[in-house]
Chains A and B, each alone.
Chain A
């Protein structure tokens, strides 16, 4: 019995291992082919964007989803054999690292298309670009805090907030990029004392994700929390009454980062260095910046479009005040990531 299973298993394993995408049956001439995405985004709604792309171009989308660092390792190991056409990650720091590892190539064909993306949200040499953006914000308890108390992230390190702040672990890349931006704004020494202030202010050992920090504010465990904007937007748009109640107990502030503007970060994409389906990859990258693509990110994941003037249907985003973004090029966030990480280690932000 075991023997039979074993034999069957071995045969199955061997036959299946030959089923990599390139082993697909030879495509007919009318076939628009395929594009292979390596994506670190974990949003189920992205499938809708892919479907819209296939609808428009006939190009099939193959997806491999994994954490960014692992995708980078896999592309390194596969080298020239890599099947990846497009690499997508959230957080500019990751894009910077992938670029350092030589995993992107410039896409001159996209030239004019990329001009639609603000200059600070793309790689200086066009190796990658942001297609949606998010901002790190402060969520506060409506009944205990006034928005005027938090106009800048520097305020949050103030002694006034001792034991009143919730924020997730410094392992989290969003916090890393926030500090990386601050290092750029005020230099490493002042950034370190800011981080020490935050570590002193936290009401509880960091635990859970951004949504849990918002819940903690609503429950009175803390008065303010540092989170990404779309986590609150999601609670505001949910059908779950309990989550609605949480969203109603809090409000959102868009503090500036050392006076320079709100700390924006991106979901970004780039053309893989060894893309086997280069043309389809370019078509996909261009699609991300079309009105249709841009609109979907705003509606499905509550991220901001990067292309100005795109119409979308999202009451929550539409209700935000005018936000001035920090003009720093997000590529700097990657350059400062290691320094930020070590500052966290030294000040003991768990």
Chain B
């Protein structure tokens, strides 16, 4: 289909290339660190001692958190997308909220509750690889949920209904007709969950599940072995690369949505009262387990703990950073999605590289950013002094720009996933129809693509917004003087073992994330109602 290829290539790859360079820079710096340092024999020492344990733990934590996220995320997404029950419209956005809870905060809360001395001491203590996997799954499942919900809601119900007509039971129809069509979205969500799990340090360290990331921080802190830490980070990047490859394979196998781009929004099935109650309970449990209970425990501890830090300005700082990064990331995500869609090898590679940064633990990514900024500073200083004979007035580190750069390099993946899965619904046939009617590439993008992908862009911005609110290592090390964010304050209290004081900033992170989540959820719902008309009008039906 040469025509289709040409249509897809009507969109430039260069924005994605720029994004890829920006995102890959820290990664390249880490790789440079890895090959440049001395080979002290530390890796050999590690191999004969702890590395196997690190690998086993990493696999176990990742498996548990990934599978929990898929089951919870896609199951609940199906429930709220296809059924009508009391409270559904509230659960629609409530289910996304645990994402706003930093995994380490949930880990502190659960561990505090379930340790032998805690109020839930009769339960098995949440600890080790299993505990860490559960906590991470409970706080990260919204990735899968959000993407899957969007896919299910936008899915034509034809396939599912056809399957039912052919005598399939609802479960079977779901598994064999609805799930395969949502597979790209679920895979994209799962990739994010897995990468974030790989990069987590706070929760696994506290719960005593030493993963590769823990080993890497240990190498860095205990040995001062920056190069060895970077080498371990490259193992994580390799794993991420593998996950990407698997996700692409999934996507290639998946049947895309109906070729016409036409959707009959499926009418929701109204559940009988008792079943509706059960559905509501199902929806409530992950919110309770992932957010309310652990944060409630921290909050209870906060009752006896005065907070002495200025939370208002910390919240302001956090929101400012998160908004800027969220908007820019959405732009990057769309650029990368178009590059992927172009089908050119160059575009695909650029987009993939842009997304790799996500699996790098934040501390290492921050190291890479630092190294790059240091290098840039040296060059600029030298050039400036040569030209003007004066010292270059701006420090690159310790500014907001440095932070934004670090966030984008790290979270581009979280934006590419939703943008890409949204754009995958824009079929070449749609482009063809628009172009036949005389619209140019730009107009097609504006009038046909944009209405279809706006949700994806909003979702991308939201995910990055929430991520940045929670982000810790890069914020810690690149921020200006006297500049706190909520996550920084929460972490400082927690690392001083003052759980009570850590509770309020952690709760505030969730509170700050709530309004944009509601707003975006509402927009998406509104759009679904209007979408069909838009599609029909734009495609000239």
Contacts and interface: CB of A to CB of B under 8 A. Distances in A.
Partners in one complex: yes
Most buried by B among A36, A246, A345: A345
Contacts of A212: 111, 115, 497
A21 B117 contact: no
A67 B394 contact: no
Interface stretch (A37-45, A110-118, A138-146, A184-192): A37-45
Nearest to A76: B374
Most buried by B among A16, A205, A337: A16
A78 B221 contact: no
A209 interface: yes
A207 B206 contact: yes
Contacts of A6: 327-328, 331
A44 B501 contact: yes
B111 A207 contact: yes
Given A6-B328, A205-B128, A20 B111 contact: no
Given A74-B397, A240-B304, A350-B208, A208 B222 contact: no
B398 A337 contact: no
Contacts of B498: 44
Contact of B397 (A10, A78, A97, A100): A78
Contacts of A169: 205, 208, 210
Contact of A12 (B206, B320, B367): B320
Interface string B288-302: 000000000000010
Contact of B482 (A10, A62, A74): A62
Nearest to B220: A69
B208 A62 contact: no
Contact of B457 (A2, A218, A338): A2
A247 interface: no
A9 B480 CA distance: 18
Interface stretch (B42-50, B78-86, B171-179): B42-50
A76 B224 CA distance: 13
B375 to A, nearest CB: 8
Interface in B197-218: 205-208, 210, 214, 217-218
B220 to A, nearest CB: 6
Contacts of B481: 20-21, 36, 62-64, 83
A42 B477 contact: no
B115 A73 contact: no
A321 interface: no
A240 B302 CA distance: 10
Interface size class on chain B is: 35 or more
B398 A83 contact: yes
B400 A17 contact: yes
Interface string A220-244: 1100000000010000001110000
A221 B222 contact: no
B476 interface: yes
Nearest to B310: A47
A45 B308 contact: yes
Interface stretch (B16-24, B233-241, B416-424, B487-495): B487-495
Nearest to B303: A240
B323 A207 contact: no
B45 A42 contact: no
Nearest to B392: A81
B123 interface: no
Contacts of B479: 64
Given A5-B327, A79-B378, A83-B395, A74 B401 contact: no
B399 interface: yes
B309 interface: yes
A218 B117 contact: yes
A74 B481 CA distance: 13
B371 to A, nearest CB: 6
A337 B218 CA distance: 12
B535 interface: no
Contacts of A2: 327, 330-331, 457
Given A63-B482, A209-B495, A240-B301, 10 more contacts: A20-B398, A42-B495, A43-B496, A73-B477, A78-B397, A169-B205, A169-B208, A171-B205, A215-B115, A240-B500
Interface of A: 2, 5-6, 9-10, 12-14, 16-23, 36, 42-45, 47, 62-71, 73-74, 76-79, 81, 83, 97, 100, 169, 171, 173, 176, 205-212, 215-216, 218-221, 231, 238-240, 246, 337-338, 341-342, 345-346, 348, 350
9 contacts: A9-B328, A43-B496, A70-B476, A209-B495, A216-B115, A231-B497, A346-B49, A348-B49, A350-B208
List the 5 shortest-distance A-B pairs measured between CB atoms, nearest first: A77-B374, A17-B399, A219-B117, A17-B401, A207-B208
